Structure 1
Amino acid sequence: MKVYINGKFLNQRITGVQRVAKQYTDLLLKTEHNIEIIENKYQGLMAVFFEQIILPWKTKDGILINFCNTGPLIKTNQILFIHDAAFMASKSHSKLFRYYYRVLITLLLHRAKKVITVSDFSKDEIVKYFNFNVSKLAVIKNGMDFEDHIEQDIPDVRNKLSNFKKIVLTVSSMDPRKNLKYIAESWIASNPSEDSVLVIVGGKNKVFADDSVSIEHDNILFTGYVTDEELIAYYRSAHFYVSASEYEGFGLPIAESINFGCIPLLSDIPVHRELFGTYGYFFENDSKQLREVFANLPEYTMKKSAITESETWKSSVNTLIQVLRETNEI
């Protein structure tokens, strides 16, 4: 049977969810299976109309894979990826967004043939927040390798970092639950040396109720949104990666940073322990503890230097193909 991919991510700015969709799609297209991407070229309400009305008609002769949390309500022969339950657990999103997602996801969870999430923690959260048949829910963890290994030098990134010998990186949308302001304030309080810099990569998103982080310091670099090429250059240049997030479904930038040799410094939350327990150093989310971590960076060394075969995107895709076989769709 034909396998369709909801290609809405092709017309969206690439963040974590879209990157997951891209990694899966690129590898699925290299398999022998009959795969077709249905691109959604619209924005706003027209994009919603296309997904809800046009997409199910275009995919009526096959199964549809939705990698980006939403899909058409009138189609039952579909696989739905739900990456986390942040829209239920956190109040960082706007009230309108939370209400819309709560209604939409509740309906989709019950209509989809199979629901996939990216960690055991997210599975438990989905079960907790929704009256849901857990037998329809599977966990496929994201890969930790970065398929787009771009070798070219990026002069702009190199020039921005040329005066620094110790680089701490964080990659995130300006979501309040990511605690970027707390990271920046802790960094300043640690009295960083002149050759040290905290690099904050990420752009604003209108779905968040408050996404303002406005701190200026000689040893902090706010890049805004960057291209994949620039992001890889920052990963390659960094020595440490920090995440002080209060809530995650996975934490893809952490995985990517580990792949490029960064030492992860992570808030002590369940999903970080589950996925990166053998790689990371953990701290409680209070200003004093993170400040002390930053002040003692030379004490932290790489715990584990190589990802395993089961932590690759190839493994994730193989597991997804097995799910398709179990649903008799390929």
Structure 2
Amino acid sequence: MSLMADAISEPPIFVNGRFFVQPVTGVQRVAREMTSALRAQYGSRLRVVGPARSMRQEAEGVAPVGCTSGQIWEQVDLPRYARGGVLLNFGNTAPLLHRRQLVIIHDAGIFETPKAYSWKFRLWYRVLQGLMARGGAKIVTVSEFSKSDLVRNLGLPASRVHVVRPGSDHMGRQRADAEILARHGLHPGGFVLVVGTLAAHKNISALNILARMLEGRSVPFVIAGGVGGAAFSAASAELPQPARYLGRVTDAELKALYESAACFIVPSLYEGFGLPAVEAMTCGCPVVAADIPALRESCGAAALFCDPRAPEQIAAVVLTLLDDAPLRERMREAALQHSGEMTWKKSAASLAAIIETL
């Protein structure tokens, strides 16, 4: 009887499903995969809710609630619906009026790279995250580097910020759509890939020299991803030329690109973790990464590193990799081994241990 009473007394766990109505970037990817992994652990105790006004049919397993949308829904409707339960927020923000909750803040970019964001976005996030830090929410982030940044910028004791690293095995479960290669005249092993936005901290403009060198070798330089968004500053970088810009691609198309690229480049000046780098590794793609703390942490010894502020060095490392087939094979094997340890099941288990303290 006591075991049954304990089970009945356990509070429900609600997931802030606002991310289901947003374009999928790294933040939304973490939210979707973490939710899926936690469902396997908590079963019916886990309830995912989203703003009814914005919900789309493809958001399967998400209960539409409330009568508003966006930030108003998150601050007003969500805490009202989740009253009495534990609330999980995976996308940097959370309602201020909920008592028992956890929020994943992926990085301290609004403080460390303010020029990359619009002033309205910076102001809202600084106010909101400052109030969350002074409240009782459990703060979680994705790397030790991000933890140190958040501790410093939000004035938190280190004990208030927990680290749960993302997984990358979702790419292994995805079936590749190779039609994207034929559609853009790409051949396996015959192009260099970048995935990202034109936000200033992604540092895409540092690849102009590489783009011209690749053109001289008749090697396509391929860029996939969105051009930014309302959150980012209008003073974003220009697209490197010459390059083949594919825009947003599906997960299946992205896997085909990762699997077929000669190498994948992450030239960022700032990251909280760098999920695309480990996604590429999961697909066996050699990675050239900016030598910054977050990418050192997430990629370990499985990537080649270069100074993101030295375009000539970036180009030299990439061309060395293209010219050295044995090196590419070693990097491919290192990538597969490194990323194989990064699973969402492990991530969810780490997060669940924090959830239980709520």
Normalised by the length of structure 1, the TM-score is 0.91
User: Following TM superposition, by how much is the alpha carbon of 1:85 offset from its aligned partner in structure 2, in angstroms?
Assistant: 0.3
Of the structure 1 ranges 241-250 and 223-232, higher mean CA displacement relative to structure 2 is found in: 223-232
Rounded Cα–Cα distance in structure 2 between residues aligned with 1:42 and 1:235:
35
> Aligned to 1:110, which of 112, 123, 134?
134
User: Following TM superposition, by how much is the alpha carbon of 1:191 offset from its aligned partner in structure 2, in angstroms?
Assistant: 5.1
Rounded Cα–Cα distance in structure 2 between residues aligned with 1:165 and 1:113:
47
> Aligned to 2:286, which of 253, 257, 263?
263
The residue that corresponds to 1:4 in the other structure is 14
Rounded Cα–Cα distance in structure 1 between residues aligned with 2:46 and 2:111:
33
> Aligned to 1:247, which of 235, 253, 270?
270
Q: CA RMSD for the aligned pairs?
A: 2.0
Residue type matched to 1:276 in 2? Answer: C
Of the structure 1 ranges 222-231 and 77-86, higher mean CA displacement relative to structure 2 is found in: 222-231
User: Following TM superposition, by how much is the alpha carbon of 1:147 offset from its aligned partner in structure 2, in angstroms?
Assistant: 5.2
The residue that corresponds to 1:185 in the other structure is 209
Structure showing greater relative contact order (alpha-carbon pairs closer than 8 Å, 6 or more residues apart): 1
Rounded Cα–Cα distance in structure 2 between residues aligned with 1:232 and 1:112:
40
| Pair 165,143 (structure 1): closer, same or farther in 2 beyond 3 Å | closer
The residue that corresponds to 1:319 in the other structure is 350
Q: Secondary structure at the match of 2:356?
A: helix
Of the structure 1 ranges 146-155 and 317-326, higher mean CA displacement relative to structure 2 is found in: 146-155
Q: Secondary structure at the match of 2:116?
A: coil
Residue type matched to 2:38 in 1? Answer: L
User: Following TM superposition, by how much is the alpha carbon of 1:132 offset from its aligned partner in structure 2, in angstroms?
Assistant: 1.4
User: Following TM superposition, by how much is the alpha carbon of 1:148 offset from its aligned partner in structure 2, in angstroms?
Assistant: 6.5
Cα-to-partner distance string for 1:230-254 (whole Å, 9 max, x where unaligned): 2122112212110110000000000
| Pair 163,264 (structure 1): closer, same or farther in 2 beyond 3 Å | closer
Query: Percent of aligned positions with the same letter in both sequences?
Result: 30
Unaligned runs of 5+ in 1: none
Rounded Cα–Cα distance in structure 1 between residues aligned with 2:52 and 2:111:
29
User: Following TM superposition, by how much is the alpha carbon of 1:56 offset from its aligned partner in structure 2, in angstroms?
Assistant: 0.3
Residue type matched to 1:125 in 2? Answer: D
User: Following TM superposition, by how much is the alpha carbon of 1:170 offset from its aligned partner in structure 2, in angstroms?
Assistant: 1.3
Rounded Cα–Cα distance in structure 2 between residues aligned with 1:42 and 1:115:
28
Q: Secondary structure at the match of 2:287?
A: strand
User: Following TM superposition, by how much is the alpha carbon of 1:110 offset from its aligned partner in structure 2, in angstroms?
Assistant: 2.2
The residue that corresponds to 1:37 in the other structure is 48
Rounded Cα–Cα distance in structure 2 between residues aligned with 1:310 and 1:165:
25
What is the correspondence of 1:21-32 to structure 2 with a 5 Å cutoff?
Answer: 21-32=31-42
Cα-to-partner distance string for 1:167-225 (whole Å, 9 max, x where unaligned): 2111112211111121133331455422x2221111121221123524442xx211111
| Pair 35,188 (structure 1): closer, same or farther in 2 beyond 3 Å | same
> Aligned to 1:130, which of 148, 154, 161?
154
What is the correspondence of 1:1-330 to structure 2 with a 5 Å cutoff?
Answer: 1-33=11-43, 34-42=45-53, 46-90=69-113, 91-146=115-170, 149-151=173-175, 153-163=177-187, 165-189=189-213, 192-194=216-218, 196-204=219-227, 205-209=229-233, 210-217=235-242, 220-285=243-308, 286-297=310-321, 298-299=323-324, 300-301=327-328, 302-303=330-331, 304=334, 305-307=336-338, 310-327=341-358
Residue type matched to 2:32 in 1? Answer: K
| Pair 164,321 (structure 1): closer, same or farther in 2 beyond 3 Å | closer
User: Following TM superposition, by how much is the alpha carbon of 1:287 offset from its aligned partner in structure 2, in angstroms?
Assistant: 1.6
Rounded Cα–Cα distance in structure 2 between residues aligned with 1:61 and 1:157:
50
Q: Secondary structure at the match of 1:31?
A: helix
User: Following TM superposition, by how much is the alpha carbon of 1:163 offset from its aligned partner in structure 2, in angstroms?
Assistant: 4.9
Aligned partners of 1:191 and 1:295 also within 8 Å: no
Rounded Cα–Cα distance in structure 2 between residues aligned with 1:137 and 1:292:
39
Aligned partners of 2:142 and 2:166 also within 8 Å: yes
User: Following TM superposition, by how much is the alpha carbon of 1:108 offset from its aligned partner in structure 2, in angstroms?
Assistant: 1.2
Rounded Cα–Cα distance in structure 2 between residues aligned with 1:320 and 1:141:
9
Aligned partners of 1:145 and 1:312 also within 8 Å: yes
Rounded Cα–Cα distance in structure 2 between residues aligned with 1:42 and 1:192:
51
How many aligned positions are there?
323
Aligned partners of 2:116 and 2:199 also within 8 Å: yes
Aligned partners of 1:123 and 1:137 also within 8 Å: yes
User: Following TM superposition, by how much is the alpha carbon of 1:154 offset from its aligned partner in structure 2, in angstroms?
Assistant: 3.8
Q: Secondary structure at the match of 1:311?
A: coil
